[in-house]
């Protein structure tokens, strides 16, 4: 716990970084996480030291930009195995690479993957690209449909990316309006709240779609209420995340303490820091 609050960090990056393209690796700080990349016990020890109850390890397939192949799925499932109470595995089915999207969703869920990640600026695809007017990629529709059937959360990156080769034309969260309309029972999470350009759009989508969730990772806590001044209104569907070890995130616990300095109610803090993510990822 941190200052009396349980914390579930719903967005950190523990990944097979040896897959990274060289130009991307230069932008990624390894530092404190280096040992944890090969030793999940060290990662759990770090969570203990930081006061973090559990963490969601976000992995995804994006060979075009990042270098990550489908091998990330087996990697993260193996990394978390036996420690699922502390480490929650996220993987991906790439809509442009899969030949059996429904089967791949099933295989990942059966492997122990607890949520899927779609990263439009890194996968080079619109989040609504299953529609004819947005690219007509049937595999993406199948991924959403099967995830909905299995109640498997789908985390979608929204907002810009600075990594070499990323395409920010795919960053607008408004694409998720179609997804929420077409798959109304899909647990859908907007990662990063569309920061920095689309936070108003993200707030609109939260108010329009009752099952939409907001992931506030990578937003500096001191700026959170600048981006979302009415955060209290959507606290029942907002999940905490840090994006650690991204640049600008000093530590998981430091971000939590900065968040606790914001003028939010105690119930809102508890929902955001642990309760909402627990309902999503620890069913």
pLDDT digits (tens, 9 = 90+) for 51-96: 999 999 999 999 999 999 999 999 999 999 999 999 999 999 999 9
Mean pLDDT, residues 124-146:
92
Mean pLDDT, to the nearest integer, of 198-210? 98
Residue 114 within a domain: yes
Reading across the β-sheet that carries 238-239, which strands appear in turn? 8-12, 54-58, 87-91, 115-118, 154-157, 188-191, 212-215, 238-239
- The alpha carbon dihedral of 175, 181, 187, 193 has a sign of positive
23 in any annotated domain:
yes
Is 53 inside any structural domain?
Answer: yes
CB 265 within 8 A of CB 14: no
Q: Indicate whether 1 belongs to any domain.
A: no
CATH number, domain containing residue 267 = 3.20.20.140
CA 152, CA 167: separation in Å to the nearest integer? Answer: 27
User: Residue 245 falls within a domain, yes or no?
Assistant: yes
Residues 124 and 170 sit within 8 Å (Cβ to Cβ): yes
With tokens 């699922």, the residue in question is 84
User: What confidence category does residue 29 fall into, taking pLDDT thresholds of 50, 70 and 90?
Assistant: low
pLDDT band at 21 (very low <50, low <70, confident <90, very high): confident
Q: pTM score, two decimals?
A: 0.95
Tokens in use for 129?
């690209």
Count of domains for the chain: 1
Structure tokens at 181: 């309309």
Answer whether residue 198 is part of any domain: yes
Q: Which domain holds residue 176?
A: 8-281
- Residue 30: predicted pLDDT: 61
2 inside domain? no
Tell me the helix, strand and coil percentages in the chain, rounded to 5: 45, 15, 40
Q: How far, rounded to the nearest angstrom, does the alpha carbon of residue 26 sit from its chain's CA centroid?
A: 22
Q: Is the pLDDT of residue 1 over 70?
A: yes
Closest CA to 36 of 84, 93, 92, 76: 76
Name the β-bridge partners of 174: none
Question: What percentage of the chain has pLDDT greater than the value 90?
Answer: 87
Give residue 108's pLDDT.
98
What pLDDT was estimated at residue 35? 76
pLDDT band at 31 (very low <50, low <70, confident <90, very high): low
pLDDT (average), residues 159-183: 96
Residue closest to 91 by CA, chosen among 187, 139, 33, 155:
155
H or E segment at 123? helix 120-123
User: Is residue 3 in some structural domain?
Assistant: no
pLDDT-based confidence at 14, cuts 50/70/90? very high
């Amino acid at each position: 716990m941190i200052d009396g609050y349980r914390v579930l960090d719903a967005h950190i990056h523990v990944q097979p970084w040896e897959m990274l393209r060289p130009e991307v690796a230069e932008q990624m700080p390894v530092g404190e996480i280096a040992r944890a990349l090969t030793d999940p016990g060290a990662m759990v020890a770090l969570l203990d030291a930081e006061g973090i109850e559990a963490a969601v390890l976000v992995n995804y397939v994006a060979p075009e930009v990042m270098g990550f192949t489908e091998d990330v799925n087996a990697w993260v499932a193996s990394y978390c195995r036996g420690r699922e109470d502390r480490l929650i595995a996220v993987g991906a089915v790439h809509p442009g690479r899969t030949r059996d999207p429904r089967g791949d969703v099933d295989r990942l869920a059966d492997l122990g993957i607890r949520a899927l990640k779609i990263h439009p600026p890194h996968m080079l695809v619109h989040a609504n690209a299953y529609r004819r007017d947005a690219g007509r990629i049937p595999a993406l529709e199948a991924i959403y449909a099967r995830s909905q059937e299995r109640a498997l959360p789908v985390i979608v990156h929204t907002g810009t990316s600075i990594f070499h080769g990323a395409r920010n034309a795919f960053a607008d969260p408004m694409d998720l309006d179609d997804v929420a309309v077409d798959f109304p029972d899909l647990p859908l999470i907007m990662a990063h709240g569309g920061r920095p350009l689309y936070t108003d759009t993200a707030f609109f989508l939260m108010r329009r779609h009752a099952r939409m969730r907001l992931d506030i990772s990578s937003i500096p806590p001191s700026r959170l209420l600048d981006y979302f001044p009415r955060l209290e209104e959507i606290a029942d569907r907002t999940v905490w995340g840090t994006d650690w070890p991204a640049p600008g995130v000093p530590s998981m616990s430091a971000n939590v303490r900065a968040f606790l300095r914001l003028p939010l109610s105690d119930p809102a803090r508890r929902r955001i820091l642990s309760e909402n993510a627990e309902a999503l990822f620890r069913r």
